[in-house]
Structure 1
Amino acid sequence: MSTADTRLEPGDTAPDFTLPDADGTPVSLSGLRGRRVIVYFYPAASTPGCTKEACDFRDNLAELDRIGISVLGISPDAPAKLAAFREAEGLNFPLLSDPERKALHAYGAFGEKKNYGRLIQGVIRSTFVIDAEGRVEKAYYNVRATGHVDRLRRDLGL
């Protein structure tokens, strides 16, 4: 098994992507230029950890938006599954579908990871803060779903 393709670091240019949201509408990172963006990658919609993380972003979105930060969640799930997840949890930010894992690989968010003590290939829960010019401001790999948004808020000085 191979490890993640690449690891992004602060100062790197954030790889652009265009992916369908839960309604099938294409969303591009470059379309948000001029705003800071939190891009987070999660393994699967409607699973316990991913639900906790998504709801944490949902509950903090107003504060993030107030300071000019947008949030995008990305997983390999199909748009229909993302739409059901959004509706079930009242999510208020775009969930993007990356079934071919192109963005996941570009950000180093797919590769070898431990799952219940076994090495498997899968989504590496990762979060990136992209600045208004499209550069990586912060990069977090192997994050925990619980408490992650609090850590982001501290690191962003909120």
Structure 2
Amino acid sequence: MTDQPDTKSESKHDKFLRLSEARLERAVHHILLLENLAGPGYEHFDDEGQKVVDGMQDAVDKVAKAFGIEPYVPPAPGAALTIGTDDEAEDEPAPPAVPTAAAAPAEPFPNEQEDLILLRVGSEIDLAIREIEAGRGLEARAVLMRLMTA
């Protein structure tokens, strides 16, 4: 007897859930491998890094379109971050502006290791927020789960 699921009697939704979870995990893994190329063991020009990011964004936009989801459009610099529908944004006043790092003096980090950890965690949280804003809850969950287990 095998541990393989009985795919003949599997519903289309169950098949979607099974395959999407496995494929998303592999996709996130390979994206993280691309992230490694930005590390100190490699050398690249800015335009080459941008090509990698643009290629990934094009693929994500294509998948979003296939699911009938609007592609992610980053907010304009300085725009307030909102999560929810446009209708909700009209009903509630905008949150007060958060002071920027330039407004308050930055405190030094105790050591370089903590600095690197904070940089990594911050970028992961930013990615999760962007996934939530774009309506991609599964992707946001994967990012946050990876962050919690790191």
Q: TM-score range by the shorter chain?
A: under 0.3
TM-score by length of 2: 0.26
- RCO higher in structure (CA 8 A, sep ≥6): 1
**More strand per residue: 1 or 2?**
1
Higher helix share: 2
